[in-house]
């Protein structure tokens, strides 16, 4: 069954009459290990009761309402990616509430009465630190059962730690921004993925003997920091190994724009216009300004060896 997306705006004026269901609340950016614990709890509860599972999430990120950003807000999982991952988990419905200034002012009891109850919940599940109203208004999970007034049950999911550190979207964004994809993947519980369109670049990689696919992503999608990575890329239904460069190609000049270029191993076809997905497996090294093209080519040859060795090891571990 496909996860059905339903957009909501407060106050809810749509004529929605869902059947009794288990509802998980949260923003769920990244759907990391902590989020997965909440979602699996909700799905298990729904399966046990023989009713659908749903999530109530928001767009845009609440921070957009409360503060000014110099650049557009970037997400670990834009809505389309969030929907895809929820479908893999087996969640039936995804309610996306437009997060606005008006919604941000709604008191917790009104939120329960005017929002949650419209979803016909039998049980509401959320993480221990989830909030659903203004700060200092007791809009926390410890008080949710009192606002429920015996109309639904509540389940609070405890925090999930990794190496004694709380798993969280903010920490994962920090790791990715600094190129630490290996650590980010451990907190995500999967390999971080982005999506994009293959577009024309400067064709410099082809001249060097390492042709690349130039990937254009949306401005809302967070991509890892500048560096060289071992990746997989999904092209026309097939996952292929590659090495990716996120950087400014500083060897060829200063103040160049940041680009995403992927050399796909054992592949030499034109794929312009293809919509691709990229799995960011492993950080290889930082971007370097080389003295000459020959030195750059030698480094690329070494990067290819390291990339092939990395994936050979991964394949052996999975065998």
- Give the span between the Cα atoms of 14 and 284, in whole angstroms: 50
The answer on pLDDT for 245 being more than 90 is yes
Residues 47-99 pLDDT 10s: 999 999 999 999 999 999 998 888 889 999 999 999 999 999 999 999 999 99
Q: What is the pTM of this model?
A: 0.94
Q: What is the reported pLDDT for 272?
A: 96
For 4-165, the fitting CATH number among 1.20.58.1000, 3.40.50.12780, 3.60.150.10, 3.40.50.620 is 3.40.50.620
Domain extents in the chain:
4-165, 191-318
Give 218's pLDDT tier (boundaries 50, 70, 90): very high
User: How many other CB atoms sit within 10 Å of the CB of residue 124?
Assistant: 27
Q: Are strands 153-157 and 121-127 parallel, antiparallel or unpaired?
A: parallel
User: How many other CB atoms sit within 10 Å of the CB of residue 98?
Assistant: 13
Q: What is the reported pLDDT for 251?
A: 66
The answer on pLDDT for 308 being more than 90 is yes
The CATH class, in words, for 191-318 is: mainly beta
Over the chain, what is the mean pLDDT? 94
Give 257's pLDDT tier (boundaries 50, 70, 90): confident
Lowest mean pLDDT among 2-16, 208-222, 243-257, 274-288: 243-257
Q: Give the CA distances from residue 41 to residues 46, 51, 53, 125, 127, in Å, rounded to whole numbers and listed in that order.
A: 9, 14, 10, 7, 10
On whether the CB atoms of residues 96 and 5 are closer than 8 A, the answer is: yes
Identify which of 38-52, 151-165, 193-207 has the greatest average pLDDT. 38-52
Q: What is the reported pLDDT for 93?
A: 98
Joined tokens for residue 54: 């749903």
Joined tokens for residue 214: 């130039």
Give 250's pLDDT tier (boundaries 50, 70, 90): low
Question: Comparing C-alpha atoms, which of 194, 230, 204, 228 is closest to residue 299?
Answer: 228
């Amino acid at each position: 069954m496909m996860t059905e997306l339903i957009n909501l705006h407060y106050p809810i004026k749509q004529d929605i009459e869902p059947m009794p269901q288990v509802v998980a609340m949260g923003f769920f950016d990244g759907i990391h290990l902590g989020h997965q614990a909440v979602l699996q709890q909700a799905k298990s509860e729904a399966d046990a009761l023989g009713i659908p599972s749903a999530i109530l999430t928001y767009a845009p990120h609440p921070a957009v309402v409360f503060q000014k950003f110099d650049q557009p807000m970037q997400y670990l999982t834009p809505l389309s990616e969030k929907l895809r991952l929820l479908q893999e988990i087996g969640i039936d419905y995804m309610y996306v509430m437009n997060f606005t200034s008006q919604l941000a002012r709604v008191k917790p009891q009104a939120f329960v009465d005017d929002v949650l109850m419209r979803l016909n919940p039998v049980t509401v599940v959320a993480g221990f630190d989830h909030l659903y109203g203004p700060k200092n208004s007791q809009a926390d999970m410890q008080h949710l059962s009192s606002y429920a007034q015996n109309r639904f049950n509540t389940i609070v999911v405890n925090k999930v730690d990794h190496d004694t550190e709380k798993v969280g979207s903010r920490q994962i964004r920090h790791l990715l921004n600094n190129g630490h994809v290996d650590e980010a993947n451990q907190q995500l519980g999967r390999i971080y993925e982005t999506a994009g369109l293959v577009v024309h670049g400067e064709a410099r990689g082809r001249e060097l003997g390492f042709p690349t696919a130039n990937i254009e992503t949306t401005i809302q999608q967070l991509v890892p920091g500048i560096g060289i990575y071992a990746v997989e890329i999904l092209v026309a239904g097939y996952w292929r190994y590659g090495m990716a460069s996120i950087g400014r190609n500083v060897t060829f000049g200063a103040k160049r724009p940041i680009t995403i270029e992927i050399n796909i191993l054992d592949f030499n076809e034109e794929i312009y216009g293809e919509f691709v997905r990229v799995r960011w497996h492993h950080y290889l090294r930082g971007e370097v300004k080389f003295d000459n093209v020959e030195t750059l080519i030698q480094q690329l040859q070494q990067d290819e060896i390291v990339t092939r060795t990395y994936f050979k090891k991964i394949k052996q571990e999975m065998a």
